[in-house]
Structure 1
Amino acid sequence: MIAHLTLAYVFIYICLGLIGIGIILLFQMKLAHNRELRNIDRYEKKHRDYFVYIQSHLEEDAVLQLPLGKLTKLERRMIQLKYIEWIEAFKGDHRRKLIQLCHDSGFVQEDLKLLRRASYGKRVEVAYRLGGMRAGEAVPELLHLMQRRKYNPLMIVIARAIAKSSQQPKDVLHMLRSLLSHNKPIHALAADIVTESSLDSGILYPMLLEDADPGIVQVGMAVTRGRTVPEVMPALKRLTGTKKQSLREEAVQLYLGTYPALHQDAAIRLMKDSSWEVRAATVRSLGMLGVEDSIDLLTEALRDSSSKVRYLSAESLSAIGESGFEALCRVARNGKGLQRDAALERIEIVLAQETEHSALEHMVAYNKKRLLHTRYFGNKSTQRIVGKKALGGDYTA
């Protein structure tokens, strides 16, 4: 019993000792960190004139000079991070001069050596700096580092460094294959990484869209969205006929929405496609774009041989505000056959849905649509007696 108590006391004393050592180490690390911050502030004041010199001579053709005197390791790191900060902020010749300054200062060579022999955590820090300096010679080693590690959040830092430093589109593709090989839902993040590249988007973006890997194509679509890159239009046009539904619908939407002035002609061409999936994706995209110029085309699509296309055409018309709803009412009153049935079906759905909204703007929209309904049909209900048969079958097919 006494032996057990003695052992317990020893264990407690050991734990207390370890806790005390941990507290002392944390306190020392905090002091060292504060000391480093004070030194950095002092070095920034010391080199303030040099930083002013760099900024004032970026416009000139002369080669930028290196800082004078012998520098401590911390001084060099502070100056390097200042260069990287400017590289991120500037473009064109200014950026090119600062990148050359990083090479002339030996910063790129030093970090390349560290990248090959440091621990993984340290390598990620080095990768960040190499990416900031747009060090193209570091890309092969960074790709190798990505490919031999399991996925973790730090890999994003390495991927971004590769995108920034790559001098060939194939390097960006290799980076994306490695990043997406872990089957993580990070396509939007990957697209954001790709935008960091300084490569010509007219060359890089079509390569992404034409790749055989659907994941890379998805990244290409995400990176294309909201950007005007004429070179991607042929690739997007081909993708409107792809068998993969999610890619096809997004390709149609991008193809129609990239150049609004041309979307009508593009939509007419797509609506002549022999595949009902392409026509369905087209009418859905027209509704999402919400352009009133599409009303006539969507009205005509209510006669389509595919029940799915008719259903989505009516849905898209109802999404284009009062003008689209009025077009539905006209077809419901004056149309015939399946076209009229599709319009009647959608009108009832819209009026039923609108009554569920309580927000003021929804109430106003509902009242306007109810007035349009009354103008065309009086107080009569457009509730159809027949069911889904009038639309030509199951429209989910």
Structure 2
Amino acid sequence: MDSHLTLAIYFVYFCLGLIGIGMLSLFWFRIRSNRMEKKQELYLQKHQDYFKFIQTHLNGASDLPLPPGKLTKLERRVIQNKLIEWIEQFKGEIRDKLVKLCQDAGFVSEDIKLLDSLFYGRRISAAYRLGGMRAAEAVPRMLIMLEKQRYSPLTIVIARAIAKSAERGDQLKEMLHHLLRHGKPIHNMAADILMETGLDSSRLLLKLLEDENPDLVKVALVAMWGQAVPEVVPALDRLVGTGEKDVRAEAVKLYLSSNPVLKDDTIRELMADSDWEVRAAVAKSLGNTHAAGSIPLLRTALQDSNWRVRSNSAESLAKLGETGFEVLCQIAKNGSGIEREAALHQVEKAMLEEGEHQKLDQMVAYNKKKLLYERYFGVSESKPVRQVAAVGGDYTA
């Protein structure tokens, strides 16, 4: 019994000792961190003249001078971080001069050696800095590092460093393969990483759209939003008919945003697509392109099982002049169920837009709609738009 009690006392003392060591370690790390921050501030002040000289000679013809004097390891890191900060801010020849300065100063070679460090944190930090310095010579080593890396938030750090530094399209493609092989739904993030590259984006996106890997195609489609890339329209036309559901939906939305001239047969096929996202995208585009000949299709789409398709169809009908708005009024007056709800909501919404019209043609169009409204519903005060409750159908949108 006494031996057990003695053992328990020793165990308590041992735990207290571990706690004490832990608290002392945290206190020491805090002091060390504060000391490092103070040293960094001192070094920034010490090298202000050098930084000002670099800034004033960025547009000069000659190479930028190396940091002066014999520097400590921390001093070199402070200067390196300042150069990386400028590299992120500038483009073109100025960036190239700063990148060359990092190479001439030995910053790039030092961090490439750190990629083989036994400490994981040092390897990640080195990859981050190499990306900031656009170190093309480090890309093969970072690709190997990314291939061996298990997926984590730090995987993004390595991938972004590769995207910034890569000089060839195949290196970016390999980076995307390694990044997406984990099966994570990170296509938007991958597209953001991809667009960090300094390579020609139009050629790169076209190659990815033609790839057999659907993940790469999805990344390219996401990356194309906001990009004016006319060369990829034929590839989009092909992807509209692909069997991959997610790819087809994104391709259709992007294809329609390029304002193509759609044939009637193509419109009918897309409006009958099994994917609600495709139907909704087409219904929305018909109003934006003022396709008055599609009024019967939009009229039928008000009975669609998906509320988003119904809403977009009603909105497009309201944009198609007096004829489209009259169809909405007829359904809102004499229709029933989900189509009447969608039509009535859009009609009431249109009647509340009187104060929003500034131009003469907009006011004339509104007055025509108001006359049609009064013909079907009589003269009455404008009522607030009702919140439409979807009746039946699909609620997953």
Of residues 281-290 and 78-87 in structure 1, the stretch that sits farther from structure 2 once superposed is 281-290
Would the aligned equivalents of 1:236 and 1:255 in 2 still touch at CA under 8 Å?
yes
For 2:108, give the aligned amino acid.
V
CA-to-partner distance for each residue in 1:93-113, whole Å, 9 max, x for gaps? 010001101110011111111
Q: Contact 1:273/1:279 (CA < 8 Å) preserved in 2?
A: no
Q: Give the 3 Å change call, closer, same or farther, for CA 314–111 of structure 1 in structure 2.
A: closer
User: What are the ranges of 5 or more consecutive residues in structure 1 without an aligned counterpart?
Assistant: 336-342, 380-393
Q: Is 2:344 the counterpart of 1:348?
A: no
Q: Within 5 A, what are the aligned runs for 1:1-397?
A: 1-258=1-258, 263=259, 265-266=261-262, 270-271=266-267, 276-277=272-273, 284-289=280-285, 291-299=287-295, 301=297, 316-320=312-316, 322-324=318-320, 327-328=323-324, 330-331=326-327, 347-351=339-343, 364=352, 372=372, 375-376=375-376
| Deviation of 1:240 (Å) | 1.4
Cα distance between partner residues in 2 of 1:241 and 1:222: 18
Asked if structure 2 preserves the Cα contact closer than 8 Å seen for 1:329 and 1:347, the reply is no
Deviation digits for residues 202-242 of structure 1, max 9, x if unmatched?
A: 11111222111111111111111112122222221221121
Greater shift in the superposed pair: 83-92 or 278-287? 278-287
Opposite residue 248 of structure 1, the aligned amino acid is R
CA contact (8 A) 1:240 1:248 kept: yes
Q: 1:268 to 1:195 in 2, by over 3 A?
A: farther
User: 1:10 & 1:297 partners in 2: Cα distance?
Assistant: 88
Q: Is the 8 A contact 1:329 1:376 kept in 2?
A: no
User: Hey, what's the Cα distance between the residues in 1 that align with 2:102 and 2:286?
Assistant: 50
Following the alignment from structure 1 to structure 2, what is the Cα–Cα distance between the partners of residues 161 and 201?
Answer: 17
Q: 1:49 to 1:286 in 2, by over 3 A?
A: same
How far apart, CA to CA, are the structure 2 residues paired with 1:204 and 1:266?
A: 27
Equivalent-residue separation in structure 2 for 1:243 and 1:14 (angstroms): 64
Aligned partner of 1:152: which letter? S
- Aligned-pair identity (%): 42
Quote how far apart the aligned CAs of 1:149 are.
Answer: 2.2
AA aligned opposite 2:283: G
- Give the secondary structure class of the aligned counterpart of 1:294: coil
Residue aligning to 1:391: none
| Mapped contact 1:264–1:294 kept (Cα < 8 A) | no
**Could you state the TM-score of these two structures normalised by the residue count of structure 2?**
0.80
SS in structure 1 at match of 2:116: helix
Secondary structure in 1 matching 2:115: helix
8 Å CA contact retained: 2:284, 2:313: no
Structure 2 CA distance for aligned equivalents of residues 286 and 156 of structure 1: 35
Partners in 1 of 2:346 and 2:254 — Cα distance? 29
The 3-state SS of whatever aligns with 1:63 is: coil
Question: 1:285 deviation in Å?
Answer: 2.1
Distance 1:302 1:70, change over 3 A: closer
SS in structure 2 of the partner of residue 151 of structure 1: coil
Q: Distance in 1 between matches of 2:352 and 2:373?
A: 14
Equivalent-residue separation in structure 2 for 1:127 and 1:303 (angstroms): 56
Q: Secondary structure at the match of 2:149?
A: coil
Measured against aligned partners, the alpha-carbon deviations of 1:103-162 in whole angstroms (never above 9, x if no partner) come to 100111111111123322221111000110111111111111111122111111001011
Cα distance in 2 for residues equivalent to 1:116 and 1:19: 34
Whether the 8 Å contact between 1:84 and 1:129 is mirrored in structure 2 is: yes
CA distance in 2, matches of 1:325, 1:334: 15
> Aligned to 1:116, what secondary structure does the other structure show?
coil
* Structure 2 SS opposite 1:130: helix
| Residue 19 of structure 1, CA deviation | 0.9
Q: Give the aligned CA root-mean-square deviation in angstroms.
A: 3.8
1:88 and 1:132 in contact (8 A); partners too? yes
> Residues 376 and 178 of structure 1: is their aligned pair in 2 closer, same or farther, counting only changes over 3 Å?
same
CA 1:300 to 1:78, structure 2 compared with 1: closer, same or farther past 3 Å? same
1:318-355, CA deviations, whole angstroms, 9 ceiling, x for partnerless residues? 023733595445458999xxxxxxx9877413156679
Cα deviations by residue, 1:9-59 (Å, 9 ceiling, x for unpaired) = 111111111111111111111111111111111111110010011111110
| Structure 1 residues 243 and 370: alpha-carbon distance in aligned structure 2, compared to 1, 3 A threshold | farther
CA contact (8 A) 2:241 2:248 kept: yes
